[in-house]
Amino acid sequence: MTFGIARSLLEHVGPLTAGACAYLVGGFFCLVRLWWSGKMIGHLRRLSPRYLLGCGSLFVVYTAAIYLAVGLAKNREQVLEVALVNYLWPALTILFSLPLLGRKASAWLLPGTALALGGVLLVMTQGTHTTWQSFARHVQDNPAAYGLALLAAVTWGGYSNLARRWSGPGSEGAVELFVPATGIVLLAIRLFTPEPADWTARCVGEAAALAAVTTTAYVLWDLSMRKGNMLLVVACSYFTPLLTTLVSCAYLHVTPGPKLWMGCLLLVLGSLVTWRSVSDGPPRSS
């Protein structure tokens, strides 16, 4: 739900304001949850500094990159393309798990990755004959938006693996701290960046909805990355690009072309093949 709601909101208040509102409101409830559970001080003491600072930094960079990428998209149709570039992260999560978590891969890893990249290539050529030149022209039309979306994909793939590697056994994680910290960083950047402030009742509702879905998703994802069956969870997440496209099209009133749908399905298929090519390796020390 993030891309559709975020684009609609930031068209009125700007990407930094939209992100800061979502993460500050969500962060407030995260801190209330920690305080209510009585684990605030003990929670901080049990966190690994490497996990807290390293994963926290990746979390903030990912959020800033994705909101700026959506904000820099020239129109709502381009938002769908930016979203699909960002959704290379499931395949990247699997690829990064090989060196970071000691996973093992079969020969299917390369064709799976090629399918995922081919899906993104198809999306970003939109109706033209698919060549390297057409891809380069499309990226040159808005390099900042696509570059930030790719940075977000790389960052989240790294975060998902390092959250598992650097968090201590049985630790609670720190998403409840990362969310408000992200809101503060976005707010600090916003203070030095002029943005519109066309607040309406709809904008307030979208900010509240964005805070709710964002916080819930991050808390559950972090928990699953640290304690769940990582390969199974990532496999389920491969359908996120398809769900994102469906929700964004409905919410933003966009009719995607056939190449976008085909690229989206190739991305899902490639990610699934990549997942099937990887198996658990021997336990890796932190």
Q: What is the pLDDT of residues 34-72, one digit of tens each?
A: 787 766 666 667 778 888 899 999 999 999 999 999 999
Q: What is the pLDDT of residues 151-187, one digit of tens each?
A: 999 999 999 899 888 876 556 678 888 999 999 999 9
Q: What is the pLDDT of residues 258-277, one digit of tens each?
A: 777 887 788 788 878 877 78
Q: How many CB atoms lie within 10 A of CB 75?
A: 11
Residue-range domain boundaries for the chain:
2-279
Which pLDDT belongs to residue 220? 85
Distances from the Cα of 68 to the Cα of 107, 144, 151, 162, 282, angstroms: 37, 9, 11, 24, 39
State how far Cα 25 lies from the chain centre. 19
Mean pLDDT of the chain: 83
- Give CA–CA dist 178/61, Å, rounded: 11
